[in-house]
Each structure stands twice: as structure tokens, then as C-alpha cells.
Structure 1
């Protein structure tokens, strides 16, 4: 049974195309991570922090991986994800949620990649039960993100999406936009693509009063759901909005472990979740959350953190395993150069993202990124359990 004997990390930034309000730099920063087992096999993972979405920064992810998580997983079996996550939680304790989930996701993804290479299976075949719905999807249909402070800008974004073959759109509403502008923006999208599947995301910026006013109007315009309308700690507000029943209510921010999901289901706070693999600490937690949704008849939508190649591949495997039939708001191919990946074999074609069929994540990191990797921990650095 091959064990983890080495961990290496490197910062890898991906050039941006276009403008996305959540990023303040011209590049999308990430941390690449490599695990090596005692047979010499390598597994790769990736952390994708965005400080405007989460409390984790590129600097905190790097120091957390180097100083705490990397030493903690030395000597572990990468196939024992229960033990891997227990080790990480002893190193960085959870509180209300997973402690530093985006940093932990790099370890989780690399373990799945290494495990898949050890047994020569793609990650989508390693998730619980083989498939959540009984059938693994071979590709994921993508949704194009529409966000602009002007209608003219939104119309340009819609045309760009259509030119690439997209017909489904997710719409950014809320601060700093006004409710009246949000309605005009949604109306513009619906008129542009009346037959598409569209929903809006307020990124927690609405008050309960605003959400109650807006949800019926969005429903009348034809939107399918409202994502993250309220801050995630407003439990009673979510209950009230969900009870109103004007439009399916999705949570996103605040959903970072199966524990919170089970509690929020019991509290009847939402109709579904816009899942992000990176935000909940990786595939191990994501698959358990998806199972909870499936078993409770709740909605699974797909979202991401503008993920490039390795993190995007993990999302493709996850949503393929989940049998997702809704368009996925994975916008790495929209906002990152080369459609989000340096591996030409794994690239969105039109609005379809393939689920890699190779062993592990099925993606080869760029050679320049590999040369940048530097040791973070070796077996001699192992910490006491």
C-alpha cells in the first residue's frame, strides 16, 4: 500500500481575459500541489482562493499548506480520504465549518488524482457508489456568466457567449447594482435567450426585504432560481424566503461541509445548493453533500470559483459523477486564457466541458508550473498524530 512521502507546492497564476468584478488583478492566482507516494507516482491538486469570495488568500493558502497540512498528511494512504481529512482537521481545526477549505481542497484533489493513478481509474469512477444517479455523464454543459454595470456591457457579454456556442446564462445581481437595474439586466437576458436555462446569483448582497420583493419578479421573468440571495448566517431569513416559495432558493456561500448541509436541510432553509468543489474542501465533502441533496429530493446546481485546469477537472469529474443535467456555472473557460487550461486534451468545446477519461484527474499540468514546484514536506518532516 503506497503512502505519501513528499509534498511540493508552487504558486501558478493564469492570465485573465475580460473583466470579472471579483478579481482585482490581471491574473487568476492558484497554488499547485504535488503529492508523491513511495512508488514514485505523483498526484496533483490545486487551491483557488479568491479573497473577495472567501476569507482565504493566496498567501494564507500557501503558508497553511506548507506549514501545517503538508506535514500532516505524510505517511498517509491517499485512498483513505477519511483519514486524510481527519489529519487535516487535526492540523487546522474546523469551527462552524471546514477550517480553510480551499487550502484543504488541494490535498484532497491530489489524493484523488494519486489514487486514480495507483488503480488506473478516473476520479469520477472513485467517488461513492460509482455514480450518484446510476450513470456517469461524459461531459458537462456550461453556463455563461453575465455581469456588467451597464446594459450595453451585458449585451456584449451575451453576444460573446452566443458566439462560443452558449445558450444558458447565470446572471450576477445585487450590490453595487440597484434592484431596478437587476430587473432590467434579467429582462435583457431573457429577451436575448428566451429558451435558455437562466438563474441569478446575488452573492449574499440582498436583505430579506429586497429578496422578497425581487424573487416573484424574477420568477415572472422566467428565471429558474435565485442563488445566495442572503448572507449565510441569516438562518431565519433563509427560512422565510424559502417558505415564501416564489422561486427556488439556492445556497452557496456558507455551504462548506456536510454538517452544515444536514443542519440547514433540517431547518428547511433552501431548495438546493450551487455546489463548488473547491469551497467545501474538495471532492470528499462535495460527494457527501451531493448525496444528502439527492436523498432529500433537493436541487443540485453547479458552480465554481473561476477554476483553471486541475480544479476545473475535479469539478468536471464531480458533476459527471453526479449525473448533472443542468448547465454548470463553471466560468474558468470564460475568464481564463486558453479556456482555462494549458492541457489541450482537456478543454471546453463550445459550451461542453469533457469529463477527462484518463487515470486520476486526467490532466497534465503545464511544464512551467511543474518546474516551479518546491518541497513543502518530506517523510522526515512528519508531525506526530
Structure 2
């Protein structure tokens, strides 16, 4: 089962430019191949890799308020669903961000607290904001400036206010290795869709772990299959932090025979061959009508 060979063929059809070409499209094929080949062997995807997974994975609740008044309500909503950890979307307004983060931390003093700027600050703002976020109690800062501002990442990391994660800038393991050598990051927020699927995501996690850097788990508001793939990946590689997988938070309905179960802020990792899930064909047909 040559998944590496499949990626080589896809890369011939859609060539890389700066990095992997059309990674999200390739991720769909990659996930299908991982699920299929593991099913043929009668193994879970994690077992096919020689790994085991825990029964559950802890999740983080996403906070993205439009006004400060909304912030407390969104935190309370997460708590009502059993979530204990929170990730917030910040930038471009530093004053708003600092006050919003202060509210979240006050309401969740024991939470793992993760701020993601999605590249929305300029360098000067990021350098000014990072120490203030650290003082509030933000644990990590993801993608503070645009992905192509490499010297800026070096400056922010040298500040040592708090750990700096990359997201959008790390598509393949090639640039990940380069960025580590350049001293640009303290860790990576992994997303299988961004990395063209599980094949290179695994390599990236192994590179990060071997370098003694942080591996955090995230996603792209993943529906059923992509969510199952992500939790198998993160469980297999021993994710130590709550995963910012917000598909269950924002998506309704499921096309699985047995929908994935989230309880108390934890998601159950399904058992069985492949990703451990079965598509309900009747639900698929009903969605087409």
C-alpha cells in the first residue's frame, strides 16, 4: 500500500510551487487511502502505523466574539457543553484582544488557553501584544503575523514572551525543517487538511517531536470523516494539549451510522478498522434531496 507513491503521483499532476499544490484536495484522497488500506488489513489507522490511541481526546472550545459583551456568553456556552479549555481568535485590534483574553482567562483560570491571530498583526503590534497576552495567562500564540514574514517570526520568538506556533506557513515537512533550522517557531498547530493529509502530517509531527518543540492539534471545522482522521492522528501521536477541533461545535447533523460522541469536552476515538466509522448511505441520499 504505497501511499507515498500516491502522493508522488498527485504531485506530478498538481506540482508544488512554494509548497504543496492544492493540499486540501490531496488530503481528501490521502484520507480515503489511509482508511481503505487499514480496512483491508483489518486494522485501525493507528494500528497500521504501529501506534495505539487512547479512548478519548480532550477538545478546546473556540471563542470568536464580535463584541466584548459576547465573550462571557461564549465561554459559558462552552462550559455548558462540558468544555474546560478554550482557544480564541484574535487580531487585528490589540485593545479588543487583550480585554477579551482577560475575560476568558478570568472565567477559566485553569484552562489551556490558546490564542490564534491568523496572521492578522503586523510585526510591531505582535511584539507589543505578545508580552501582554503572556501576562494575562495565554499559553501559546499561533500565527501572530503573516506566514511569509519570516524575519518577523525570528524577532517575535527571540522576545520569548510566550511560545510561538506556526500554522498557515507550514504546509509540507520541507518548510517545517527550514523554519526549525532558522529558529522561527516553538511549535506547530497541525491540520491534516493543510498538510495534504495524514502522510505528511505524521512526518511533521515526528519532526516537531524529535526537535523537542510543541505539537498542537487543530483543524478546519472538520466534518465526520476528516474529524475521525484527525482524532486518530492526534491520539496515535500522544497529543498532550486540548485539540482545537471545532467541527462538533459549529456543524450540525452527521452522515455516519454512529455519529462521533463528544461528552464533557472529550471526543471518543472510534474503534474498528480504518477510521472506525461507517457512512450511512440513507443519510447521504437524504442530504442530496
Q: Which residue of 2 aligns with 1:348?
A: 262
Give a deviation string over 1:234-257, Cα, whole Å, max 9, x none: 110001111111110000011111
Asked whether 1:328 is paired with 2:243, we answer yes
Please give the TM-score of this superposition, normalised by the length of structure 1: 0.72
> Which of residues 264, 280, 284 is equivalent to 1:366?
280
Q: Is the 8 A contact 1:313 1:361 kept in 2?
A: yes
Asked whether 1:121 is paired with 2:76, we answer no
**Structure 2: how far apart are the matches of 1:237 and 1:230?**
8
Give the length in aligned residue pairs. Answer: 288
> Which of residues 144, 167, 186 is equivalent to 1:229?
144
Instruction: Give how far 1:95 is off.
Output: 1.3
Q: Is the 8 A contact 2:258 2:277 kept in 1?
A: no
* CA RMSD, 1 decimal: 1.7
Instruction: Give how far 1:354 is off.
Output: 1.6
Alignment gaps of 5+ in structure 1: 1-78, 374-385
Q: Which residue of 1 aligns with 2:18?
A: 96
Please give the TM-score of this superposition, normalised by the length of structure 2: 0.96
Asked whether 1:242 is paired with 2:151, we answer no
**Structure 2: how far apart are the matches of 1:372 and 1:167?**
35
> Which of residues 106, 112, 134 is equivalent to 1:219?
134
**Structure 1 or 2: larger strand share?**
1
Instruction: Give how far 1:368 is off.
Output: 4.4
**Structure 2: how far apart are the matches of 1:372 and 1:259?**
43
Asked whether 1:83 is paired with 2:5, we answer yes
**Structure 1 or 2: larger helix share?**
2
Instruction: Give how far 1:344 is off.
Output: 3.0
Q: Which residue of 1 aligns with 2:166?
A: 251
Residue 369 to residue 168, structure 1, CA distance change in 2 (3 Å): same
Residue 124 of structure 2 aligns to a residue in which SS?
helix
Alignment gaps of 5+ in structure 2: none
Residue 262 of structure 2 aligns to a residue in which SS?
coil
Q: Is the 8 A contact 2:255 2:284 kept in 1?
A: no
Instruction: Give how far 1:136 is off.
Output: 3.0
Instruction: Give how far 1:370 is off.
Output: 4.7
Q: Is the 8 A contact 1:239 1:270 kept in 2?
A: yes
Asked whether 1:318 is paired with 2:209, we answer no
Q: Which residue of 2 aligns with 1:280?
A: 195
